[in-house]
Structure 1
Amino acid sequence: MRLDQQIDLMKEDIVSAIQACIQIKSVKDVEHAAPGAPFGPGIQEALEWTLALGEKFGFTVKNVAGYAGHIEMGSGDLLGILGHLDVVPEGDGWSVPPYSATIQDGKILGRGALDDKGPSLTALFAMKAIKDANIPLNMKVRLILGTDEESGWADMDYYLQKEEVPQIGFAPDAEFPVIHAEKGILHLELSKSYAASFPHLVRVQGGERANVVPDVCEVTLKGIADQVIAKQLKEFSFPNGVSCELKNQNNEQIIMLTFKGVGAHGSLPQKGKNAIIYALQFLRTLPLSAEEQGALDFILKYPGTGFYGEGFGIALSDEPSGRLSLNLGILELSSDKMNFVLDIRYPVTYKRDDVFLPIEKIAQSEQYGIKVLNHQEAHHVPKDSTLVQSLLKAYTDVTGLEPFAFAIGGGTYAKALPQGVAFGPVFPGEPEVIHCADEYITIDNLLLTTKVYAQAILNLAADPENR
């Protein structure tokens, strides 16, 4: 039986497994961390469930103190496949419960369906198909399951200190055909305290993660008549997809505003509509104090100008990887202090200080503190390498689609390997729904991706006659 036919027969098992994994809410929860569950019980459950599935298939499995785990087959040098089981918070705007794994119109909807539970499990089923077909391999194939990819990679830091590091491999956590270059990632926090409390701005809060375009921003105001705010809302022009709801707390003379935008991955801020930015733009139309206006103007002038670092004067670009991107991911403003977090993806031919130093200079001039929360260097594997060419051949042989390698702003576990690239699962021309409401993966693409990964493993780890 041909390998792709064998995978077709697994269809129901693949779909059921991915549904079951999505139904585990594996959002980071450090408040409930424990031995064996450094990122909380939900992530622990997802890791243990997936390792148990790998063991059921007859593979060797290992749980590395709850930080990560792996499922492997074969022997020899390591070929790594690096996926992750943690997910970003679900956010708002879902048409179905975000952890229901609802099947609708040939799609599995749910947080993690595309990023990255679905693709990680397709890689596992690709391994199973090869094992069931008794195809001999020349390498040990190891599916590494991370648990903190969305929040700083503490999982990989721990895992790679404890376990052998594959020299080559791929991350099923981005786009097809092959991503051979990934921009550097820099997360910065800027903060400032004010000498006197603001008279009107009680609280402005938006965003949960640096690497997500915020789809909600909540504002609490005082000392401004609700009629004034309602009039400004009526006159203010929001773009399609952006809205604001006003609630008057009469007993306390407090006004609550909830701004809703459109979420997107932080590496693609132009794909979303940042609720924080639109909230601040609206607030600037209100009769605020000079100090309040100045605080908002700083945000709107610097991170709030453009998507590519224009406000800070860091609109860098290069030929291999394109333009720098900048996302205002989190804002927390109270009556006497403000801090915000930026997600910056910079081109592969630049270094951290090309980005950091201009921002630091502006921050210091405006008396803001600045702190580096996370940094990943840019990563690049030549297009003509054996790894890239083997994966491109697998992609084209299975799909019939044009092979090409390109660069992205997103950061994947491919950066953890000396020679690592990102490989699927999003096909060219498909909508970008990672980190969005109603995240989904189509069942047809699940099967096709499983076939591509199986062929990729054979191209890299099997003798030519067995490919």
Structure 2
Amino acid sequence: MHKKIDDGFDGLVSDLQKTLSYQTEASGYDPDAAHPFGKHMTEALDAFLDMARSYGFITRNIDNMAGYIDTSDDVSLPLYGLMCHLDVVPAGDRAKWIHPPYGGVQENGRIYGRGSLDDKGPAVVALHAMKAVRDSQNLKSRFRLIVGLDEETGAFRCMKRYLKMEEIPLYSFSPDGAFPLINAEKGILRLTVEKHFDEAGKNGEKAIERISGGVRTNIIPDAAFAVLKGDFPHHATEGIGIDGEKIVSRGKAAHVKYPDKGDNAILKLLSYLASLGIDTPLGRYVRDLHTLFPGEYDGKSLQIASEDSISGSLFCSLSIIEADESQCVLKIDIRHPVTVKGDDIVAKLKNVFGVFGATVSVDSRNEPLYMPESDPFVRLLLDSYASVTGDEAKPLYTAGGTYCRDMPNSVSFGIVFPGEEPVAHMANEYVNVDSLKKAAHIYAEALNRIDGLSGKNGFSMKSTAGKDRVFS
């Protein structure tokens, strides 16, 4: 089994480069269309399923929203799942990439490309791990790789469609996080804050005509700008550029689950605009926003800071702003501890923003996930990781969100190794070639161990994450 991973590794790399060549940035959703997430997304899904069929797997496209790849069509065998996604966040400013984001360039032990780490690389690795196990023995289980097209939006409509129409695996893991294993995922809230301004005071001699920044709620914004009217005594500020009446703020993009890895351009812009003392409704609101978002990411100034021993502290990111002299709309991403209720956070924010005449609404939410380290499935995956790496590490928690939130009895398992840079959602996203191979060995080991338990009586997997299941 492990020899097959090594012998077929060049093919794995080639398959990943091909998969990376498809631009799969979300472009909207139309449930009544033939291609709900866009034709380009369907083409990428079909290409991935075609690749799997070329290896002799059984595949199915589910309404151009998701697909799956099976090792067997014998429904009498117990089913276990792996879950990945093919959609990606926008590549952003191409000038910041040292290689084309959809080129799949291999250089210096790395493969560059949007999705190389999150989550096309893991999808290809999972496929090859399944192939190695299937080709090494007569399986007593079915393994199914489920691939979706709507993970990065946080809506998970692809997975919801799968759960509505297809068989639910007994247990699953998602290679969409970090090793050794993630057994706790913080709750996620995506909110809109909206404020409308009165007519009076809009058209002063000095005013902010427009503010714009951010591209996705789950990305720390690396750029924002404001258009001013009138003369202002500008001052030198790091990350702020002046171009006539336009103020440009530059930061660094990162996934909101790693807010300390990014540099929020919107917050820098608000700070600069607040210092100008502009006395218009939008100008005054900008100063209010600066007091609520002074550069921290724990939500302290919003009165929502919290933490627990299972999943750490709350993260809050102001990810998008669109404002003019009539209104201001904010998009906020919050990752909260598993023991904290999302409804309590929303209630607090409605009070905080209500003082300034703004409204708060929930765009989407994902409840927290937690499976104790003592859970037998968690133990099996940790032991598989340790057998390949020699590292008997403890499970982790994450502020990221994966399909595990919707799929019963599932946890996130890889693909980022301890000490590796978390470059998902950043410019120049890459995956280490050596890590791809090591992850393939770990996944193959885990699948082999799962299959080895099938048919053995008395091995009960009593999970605290869902219904009791028998691992047989």
CA distance in 2, matches of 1:335, 1:290: 9
1:243-254 equivalence runs, <5 A: 243-248=239-244
Look up the SS of the partner of 2:419 in the other structure: coil
Q: How many aligned positions are there?
A: 446
Q: Which amino acid aligns with 1:138?
A: K
Shift of 1:32: 8.5
Moved over 3 A (4+): 31-36, 463-466
Q: Does the CA contact (< 8 Å) of 1:35 and 1:65 recur in 2?
A: no
2:147 match: 145
Q: Which moved more, 1:396-405 or 1:207-216?
A: 396-405
Look up the SS of the partner of 2:275 in the other structure: coil
CA distance in 2, matches of 1:286, 1:297: 9
Q: Which amino acid aligns with 2:152?
A: E
Look up the SS of the partner of 2:189 in the other structure: strand
Shift of 1:42: 2.2
Q: Does the CA contact (< 8 Å) of 1:180 and 1:421 recur in 2?
A: yes
2:464 match: none
Q: Does the CA contact (< 8 Å) of 1:136 and 1:462 recur in 2?
A: no
Look up the SS of the partner of 1:350 in the other structure: coil
After superposition, give the CA deviation of every residue in 1:18-49 in whole Å (9 maximum; x if it has no partner). 11111111011127887342111222121111
TM-score using structure 1 length? 0.92
Q: Are 2:40 and 1:42 equivalent residues in the alignment?
A: yes
Look up the SS of the partner of 2:276 in the other structure: coil
| Aligned residue among 401, 408, 430 for 1:411 | 401
Look up the SS of the partner of 1:430 in the other structure: coil
Q: Which amino acid aligns with 2:17?
A: Q
Q: Which amino acid aligns with 2:224?
A: C
Shift of 1:6: 1.5
1:158 match: 161
Shift of 1:371: 1.0
Q: Does the CA contact (< 8 Å) of 2:179 and 2:413 recur in 1?
A: yes
1:217 match: 224
| Aligned residue among 388, 394, 412 for 1:398 | 388
Shift of 1:415: 1.2
Q: Which amino acid aligns with 1:220?
A: V
Q: Which amino acid aligns with 2:151?
A: E
2:49 match: 51
Q: Are 2:126 and 1:130 equivalent residues in the alignment?
A: no
CA distance in 2, matches of 1:322, 1:332: 31
Q: Which amino acid aligns with 1:418?
A: P
Shift of 1:124: 0.3
After superposition, give the CA deviation of every residue in 1:139-164 in whole Å (9 maximum; x if it has no partner). 21110001100112111122211112
After superposition, give the CA deviation of every residue in 1:401-426 in whole Å (9 maximum; x if it has no partner). 23211211111111122211000000
Look up the SS of the partner of 1:30 in the other structure: coil
2:470 match: none
Q: Which amino acid aligns with 1:181?
A: A
After superposition, give the CA deviation of every residue in 1:319-342 in whole Å (9 maximum; x if it has no partner). 111101111111111121101011
2:452 match: 462
Q: Does the CA contact (< 8 Å) of 1:47 and 1:85 recur in 2?
A: yes
Q: Which amino acid aligns with 1:322?
A: G
Q: Which amino acid aligns with 1:357?
A: A
Q: Which amino acid aligns with 2:413?
A: F
CA distance in 1, matches of 2:401, 2:268: 27
Q: Does the CA contact (< 8 Å) of 1:198 and 1:291 recur in 2?
A: no
2:190 match: 187
CA distance in 2, matches of 1:119, 1:52: 17
Q: Are 2:422 and 1:420 equivalent residues in the alignment?
A: no
1:27-426 equivalence runs, <5 A: 27-30=25-28, 35-74=33-72, 75=74, 76-92=77-93, 93-133=96-136, 135-151=137-153, 152-196=155-199, 197=202, 199=204, 200-224=207-231, 228-229=233-234, 232=235, 234=236, 236=237, 238=238, 243-248=239-244, 255-426=245-416
CA distance in 2, matches of 1:23, 1:259: 31
CA distance in 2, matches of 1:370, 1:320: 28
Shift of 1:317: 0.6
Q: Does the CA contact (< 8 Å) of 1:33 and 1:40 recur in 2?
A: no
CA distance in 1, matches of 2:181, 2:203: 50
1:26 match: 24
Look up the SS of the partner of 2:52 in the other structure: helix
CA distance in 2, matches of 1:73, 1:168: 16
CA distance in 1, matches of 2:31, 2:160: 17
Q: Does the CA contact (< 8 Å) of 2:282 and 2:324 recur in 1?
A: no
Q: Which moved more, 1:74-83 or 1:60-69?
A: 74-83
CA distance in 2, matches of 1:184, 1:261: 26
CA distance in 2, matches of 1:157, 1:464: 28
CA distance in 2, matches of 1:83, 1:304: 36
Shift of 1:283: 1.4
TM-score using structure 2 length? 0.91
CA distance in 2, matches of 1:198, 1:276: 24
Q: Does the CA contact (< 8 Å) of 2:197 and 2:282 recur in 1?
A: no
Q: Which runs of 5+ in 1 are unaligned?
A: 249-254
Q: Which amino acid aligns with 1:161?
A: K
Q: Which runs of 5+ in 2 are unaligned?
A: 457-472
Shift of 1:258: 2.4
1:251 match: none
CA distance in 2, matches of 1:428, 1:287: 46
Shift of 1:287: 4.6
CA distance in 2, matches of 1:137, 1:149: 30
Q: Which moved more, 1:301-310 or 1:161-170?
A: 301-310
After superposition, give the CA deviation of every residue in 1:174-193 in whole Å (9 maximum; x if it has no partner). 10001011111011100011
CA distance in 2, matches of 1:129, 1:168: 20
Shift of 1:314: 1.2
CA distance in 1, matches of 2:39, 2:266: 31
